[in-house]
Chain A
């Protein structure tokens, strides 16, 4: 190294200046050797001429040599000791040699030949020969250095110096340097020196790594260093360096070095100038500590703190805080984010100054709960988890969730890092969910239709009461069954096909009308509506199925079909006669046969009348049943109603030679007069049609004003509850006709349900008259029924409330 060479050059310069022993001690061990040799050589050169005249013993007895700690032997080139100067400082106690003894006699041959070779080489070259050799004395390793100085023509001076101590120190130094180097490497600590006079920079290996230079190359110059430095750091470094060089001002800087890969390395760079006695800097010394990780950590920490603060300040309806409990100070906040203001209407700085403010917005009952939790957390260091209510500035109740985690610090202090967020919406959602679940539970349990949850294998998982009631099974029984087991075998294939498509995701829902087998073995037609519920991974969880009993619907549909069929038939029948008769007349085939022509004409006319009656009755019934034209109720004179009804049938009664007997009733009734007249007319008309000539038809009205009168009426039929309270009006139409079979007493009030199908033709009825009567009576909240005796006649009764 340059520095070392420099030191050596300095030592060389000093050699010729002074020979004093103290000067030797001022230099290092290496210098001692050199000076020692210089002395010996100088003396040797100065004495060269006179050596042959002076006894050789005088050479080693010179006082100056006696001060040396070395063993000095004058030896003949053949190995014979000629003179020995020992010293108590020499660590080896020499054997008691006789002068004139030859080294071959006591040294191992290898060592003896080494020494003889050194002597020969010294004499031959005229130069000092140096070699080191180890000795083991009393089991301890000792290192010796021998310097063989030629004394021509045949002698040498062997100066033996004990190097054991030096070797030990060098070993310790190497170990120390190795440890230091290791420590520096571990600590990423580099050290440097800059000799101001020589302008030489000396770096430790770590320094090269710090600056991204190759350690195998010489240290870079200041210009190269400057290039590696971050552009923003160049100015400060140059300023500090200039001040250090000029005035010896120490400095410490954080420098950013950009290594060739572009990576930024942070260095803690420190400089300590070394001053000469005049206070002028002669050298700059310093260390470099890589702090990239620390800087990155600091940056990350700052970033995290900024992020935490940003989060805290921007928490939607929430804030974060740190609160401390100190035994002698109680509770106080050390941090509150800005969100507290939007949440509780309190400014963070106000709460930091007065923690009690926060209690003013809490509800008393919840604060007491919170105090208990905080105390427990203080005692046991368990987290605080609370849901409390606050009263907002507008007076509304706001729900908060508070969660904080305690830490115990020195001095008995306890710190909670916590978060309070608004959960009002969550609470509302929870309440809505609870309500929704309750509604679902109630809807499920009390639905008028059957609801079931069915596993993908068809097993019932849950059924409601409607399901159980419809199928006659208990809940437990159904839960042990699958839908396949109770499905009508003929419907199972279609049901399973839909179910499979649902499970496969081909359809979202499917509807089907199918038949279930009830527990009692009955067949229950149902309409099912099934949807599949899947889990978050899309796997089928269960099917939710609605079943609806469609027996009534089927019945209505049948009735509707039958009605249409019957109406169609009833309309087509007179039309057939009309169309046929007119068609025949139209051909002129009876042009010359007036009797036949008139017969055809009569057919057409009578069937036209029949068709008109039928259409009128159908329309009348439709009006009554649809409710689109409600009956207009008004006060009626019962006698007038009877009189008008009788008047409208008097002609046909006369034609049929049937007498009409009327027992009028002077009473007022609230009702629809036209509808009531129509009812009485229908009943009278029927009675006349089925009466034989010469018989009588009675129309009677009775006012039932007492329990007794009512009791006698109740023997005739079972009246609805609301018709069991007088006053009531009872109409009765009695004939002496053929009577009605017992099995027809109810059905004759149904549409087109005549006792005899040919009645419509023979008696001119439409089959709708009694149905119309029943509808009118029902709309008056009354009751109509018939009692009959075959062969003797029938009585139709109409019981009406609304007597005024």
Chain B
């Protein structure tokens, strides 16, 4: 069964690139959200196999969204992969506090990103 993933990023271009990568190279279905609030609403209403989450976003950043997803029974079991340009040590220290499946650093290779996602989630490739 085809996987369905939610891509959350306030950067339109990055959303587009990730969406194309996952759909074209992995054949997965994707939904996109430009903000935390939009993502939370979608996650609560749409069955999802995973969420690719940007951290630096206005209004509700990735940390807050993670906390909100884990607090909600409908969304707390959805695996989350952080897709972020914050790759310094102090950022990683903060990520360690999050209950996420993995972290993928920006910039990423669009051809193989789906393989990284599958590996982190234990999906067959």
Check if A and B associate: yes
Stretch at the interface among B36-44, B62-70, B104-112, B115-123: B104-112
For A579, give its contact among B16, B86, B107 (CB under 8 Å): B107
By a CB distance below 8 angstroms, the chain A residues around B16 are: 599-600, 603
Q: Least Cβ distance of A751 to chain B in Å? A: 15
Binding-face segment, A273-281, A444-452, A583-591, A732-740 = A583-591
Residues 448-479 of A contacting B (Cβ, < 8 Å)? none
B 64-109 contacts with A by CB, 8 A: 85-88, 90-91, 105-109
Q: Do the beta carbons of B85 and A568 come within 8 Å of each other? A: yes
A552-570 CB contact bits vs B (8 Å, 1 = yes)? 0000000001001100110
Q: Taking the complex as formed, is B31 at the interface, i.e. its CB lies under 8 A from any CB of chain A?
A: no
**In the bound complex, what is the Cα–Cα distance between A583 and B90 (angstroms)?**
29
Contacts of B26 in A (CB 8 A): none
Contact A583 B87 (CB under 8 A): no
Please report the C-alpha to C-alpha distance between residue A757 and residue B85 in the assembled complex, in whole angstroms: 15
Expressed in whole angstroms, the Cα–Cα distance for A565 and B86 within the complex equals 7
Q: Which of A565, A572, A599 touches B106 (beta carbons < 8 Å)?
A: A572
Whether A757 pairs with B58 at a CB distance below 8 angstroms is yes
The docked-state distance in angstroms from the alpha carbon of A761 to that of B13 is 9
Say which size band chain B's interface belongs to: 20 to 34
Q: Quick one: closest B residue to A585, CB to CB?
A: B110
CA distance A538 to B18 in the complex (A): 71
**Contact between A572 and B85, CB atoms less than 8 A apart:** yes
Residues on A with beta carbons closer than 8 Å to the beta carbon of B12: 761
B20: contacting residue among A578, A579, A596, A761, CB under 8 A: A596
The contact of A589 among B24, B58, B105, by CB within 8 Å, is B24
- Are A580 and B90 in contact (CB-based, < 8 A)? no
Question: Which residues B1-39 have CB closer than 8 A to chain A?
Answer: 10-14, 16-18, 20-21, 24-25
Contact in complex: A568, B108 (CB < 8 Å):
no
- Report the bound CA distance from A578 to B106 in whole Å: 11
Whether the pair B110, A583 counts as a contact (CB closer than 8 A) is: yes
Q: Which residues of A contact B21 (CB under 8 A)?
A: 580, 583-584
Q: Chain A residues near B10: list those with CB within 8 A.
A: 757-758, 761
Chain A residue nearest to B34 in the complex (CB): A758
Other-chain residue from B13, B58, B86 in contact with A569 (beta carbon distance below 8 A): B86
Question: Do B85 and A581 touch across chains, with their CB atoms under 8 A apart?
Answer: no
B105 to chain A, nearest CB (A): 8
Q: Looking at the complex, which one of A573, A583, A596 makes contact with B14 (CB distance below 8 Å)?
A: A573
Q: How large is the interface on A (under 10, 10 to 19, 20 to 34, 35 or more residues)?
A: 20 to 34
* Cα–Cα, bound, A306→B109 (Å): 100
Given contacts A576-B106, A580-B18, A756-B58, contact A603 B88 (CB under 8 A): no
Minimum C-beta distance from B88 to chain A (A): 5
Residues of A within 8 Å of B108, CB to CB, are 576, 579-580
Using A572-B106, A584-B110, A603-B16 as known contacts, say yes or no to A577 and B86 having CB atoms under 8 A apart.
no
CB contacts (< 8 Å) of B14 on chain A: these are 573, 576-577, 580
Answer whether residue A686 sits at the interface, using C-beta atoms and an 8 A cutoff: no
Contact B90 A565, beta carbon cutoff 8 Å: yes
Q: Report chain A residues within 8 Å CB of B91.
A: 565
Give Cα A561 to B88, complex, Å. 9
Bound Cα distance A357, B64 (Å)? 99
Of all chain B residues, which has the CB nearest A599?
B16
Q: Say yes or no: A583-B109 contact (C-beta < 8 A), given A561-B90, A757-B56, A761-B11.
A: yes
Residue numbers in A under 8 Å from B25 (CB-CB):
587, 589
Q: How far is the CB of A452 from chain B (nearest CB, A)?
A: 33
A608 to B94, CA, bound (A): 30
The answer to whether A607 has its CB under 8 Å from any CB of chain B is yes
Decide yes or no whether A114 CB sits under 8 A from chain B: no
The reply to whether B20 and A577 contact each other, CB–CB distance below 8 Å, is: no
Tell me the chain A residues, 754-788 only, with Cβ under 8 Å from chain B.
756-758, 761
Q: CB-CB < 8 A to B110: which residues of A?
A: 579-581, 583-584
Option from A561, A587, A603 in Cβ contact (under 8 Å) with B17: A603
C-alpha spacing A589/B23, complex, angstroms: 11
Of B10, B18, B86, B107, most A-chain CB atoms within 10 Å? B107
Min CB–CB distance B112 → chain A (angstroms): 9
Can you list 15 residue pairs at the A/B interface with Cβ under 8 Å? A568-B87, A572-B105, A575-B106, A576-B85, A576-B108, A578-B107, A579-B110, A580-B18, A580-B110, A584-B110, A589-B24, A596-B20, A600-B16, A600-B20, A757-B58
Residues of B whose CB lies within 8 Å of any CB of A are: 10-14, 16-18, 20-21, 24-25, 56-58, 85-88, 90-91, 105-111
Listed from nearest, the 7 A-B pairs whose CB atoms lie closest are A580-B17, A572-B85, A577-B13, A579-B107, A576-B106, A576-B107, A583-B110
